Structure 1
Amino acid sequence: MQRANSDRYFFTALAIAISGTAFAGFWFTYFGPIIGRTYPPAGWALHIHGGSFFAWYLFFPSQAALIASNRRNLHMMLGRLSVALVVLMAATGILVLSVRVDEAMREGQPEVWLLYGPMILSNLILFVSFYAAAVRMAVTGRLQAHKRLIIVASAIGIGAGFFRLIFFLSGFHPLSIPIGVLACSLFILIGMIYDWLTRRSVHPAYTIGLVAMFLVEVSLLPQVNEAGVAWVNQWLAALGETISFLYNPEPTVEF
């Protein structure tokens, strides 16, 4: 019983910390300027992606709080609805990213999209993959794996927010992007430490998530795999050119 109570507090607090980091990062570069009416004009896809991202990181700690308060039926009902939200996040994210990479390849700038667009894509794919695995675990009744996979997915998903927070605190540097994306692993490590302290073992969901995150994202660093990055950029640019009618990025929003 004592462990169950500590789990409720821990997972809710960790979900709040992850979401708080996401909101902090995007406050300075997106939400704040929109509220202050200083954000430059941008296409609908960017705002739908931002809105769906915002909704997920409100939804995520709310779901943890529902479990902590034993409101499982409502948690399960909302969980089913979250599938549509994740599809929207992923679809608009790929749309915006691919069009930006296509634009960068044609114009030669901003170079940051060509350097780290593939890594950002891998971040999105990992988020969706671990979310899908978490849904599978919920359906099959493996709830300990489910909640940890949701933690992994949501931690990975805040990469864009984390590196924007670094931008604000220390100024822009291209390496801020990989540092921010990989720093999301800190939340997975916190989960692993909690497991070890309370169970004397670490759930494999965390280990798989951490290893997959580093293997995939480090392999798409231009400093590590220049040829692979170029290949993914070509694929993204071709996709962006095909679907660019859905999103007009002009005038270009600063990265």
Structure 2
Amino acid sequence: MTTLTAASPRISARSGATSFYLYMSLCCAAVAFIGFAPTYWLPLASKTLKVNPVVHVHGALFFSWSLFLVFQTWLASSGQIARHRSVGMIGVSFATAMTIFGTLVAINAMKEAAAIGMRSEGIAFAVVPLSGIAFFAIAFTLAVVYVRQPDVHKRLMLLAAISILDAAVARWFLTFLAPPGAVGPPPVAVAIPPAIVAWLLVVAAMVFDWRTRGRPHAVYAIGGTALLLIKLLNLPLSASQGWHAFAGGVLALAQ
């Protein structure tokens, strides 16, 4: 009787943890969809959206991946671990394609900025999406490396998902705060508040860890801190000669 009583809290905590990651994945998918609604989904539905086809591929990949993440976390939370692992390679394919097309969309944005005489501004702002997709790729790769350590794997997957949500949050900032008639890339500084808003999901995960295991996991303590620092360092990096030389070289190759 004592053994059963002692085991019950552990079972309950384990069940609560798996449900938490399902809810977090649903939250990430909702943020992605709602965030891009005013600038992508609604214009697309009304047939008023005119963008490079690479943007459509990018959007389809990123949103499909968010739905796939929900599916994977649902499999894990419902105890279907074998199936969760068997379809994991689909996630690897998604992440690879997302990294490629995320980079292509950033380059396309630089080309469009250069075409309207805002080459320097386009190069500066490119640090935001390129650093974001780089962090996503690294976090996802580490999640694959640690696939046999579920506690690490699931946290890295969540961190990867959160790392790309600032773009969705930023669309609402631009919709309501951008001056009328604004064209071209926004200043890099305006990308920081949306990044901090999205990062609050990391805080929520850290609080959950603190309540269920007594302290935040190292993935959040180290990876979450690194994510926030990268978002904050985008501003000084975007103005550096080194970044302009690097991104300018990429732009020159693409033109």
In which range does the TM-score fall when normalised by the shorter chain?
0.7 to 0.9
Is 1:6 paired with 2:13? no
In 2, Cα distance between equivalents of 1:116 and 1:25: 19
Is 1:166 paired with 2:164? no
Tell me the residue number matched to 1:27. 37
C-alpha deviation, 1:89, in angstroms: 1.0
Tell me the residue number matched to 2:182. none
Alignment RMSD: 2.0
Q: Is the 8 A contact 2:123 2:247 kept in 1?
A: no
Of 49, 52, 62, which aligns to 1:43? 52
Amino acid at match of 1:44: P
Pair 242,115 (structure 1): closer, same or farther in 2 beyond 3 Å: closer
In structure 2, runs of 5+ residues without a counterpart are 1-10, 180-185
Amino acid at match of 2:80: R
Is 1:74 paired with 2:77? no
Tell me the residue number matched to 1:153. 160
Tell me the residue number matched to 2:5. none
In 1, Cα distance between equivalents of 2:83 and 2:232: 38
In 2, Cα distance between equivalents of 1:113 and 1:120: 11
Is 1:99 paired with 2:113? no
The structure, 1 or 2, with the larger RCO (C-alpha pairs under 8 Å, 6+ apart) is 1
In 2, Cα distance between equivalents of 1:74 and 1:97: 35
In 2, Cα distance between equivalents of 1:165 and 1:79: 32
Of 237, 240, 247, which aligns to 1:236? 247
TM-score, normalized by length of structure 1? 0.85
Aligned length: 238
SS in 2 for 1:220: helix
C-alpha deviation, 1:78, in angstroms: 1.9
Of 188, 198, 201, which aligns to 1:187? 201
In 1, Cα distance between equivalents of 2:86 and 2:136: 21
Pair 4,96 (structure 1): closer, same or farther in 2 beyond 3 Å: same
In 1, Cα distance between equivalents of 2:226 and 2:72: 25
In 2, Cα distance between equivalents of 1:178 and 1:17: 21
Tell me the residue number matched to 1:212. 226
Q: Is the 8 A contact 2:58 2:102 kept in 1?
A: yes
C-alpha deviation, 1:59, in angstroms: 0.8
In 2, Cα distance between equivalents of 1:55 and 1:237: 31
Amino acid at match of 1:156: S
In 1, Cα distance between equivalents of 2:67 and 2:98: 14
In 2, Cα distance between equivalents of 1:182 and 1:120: 15
SS in 2 for 1:39: coil
TM alignment of 1:54-65, pairs within 5 A: 54-65=63-74
TM-score, normalized by length of structure 2? 0.85
TM alignment of 1:235-254, pairs within 5 A: 235-244=246-255
C-alpha deviation, 1:212, in angstroms: 1.0
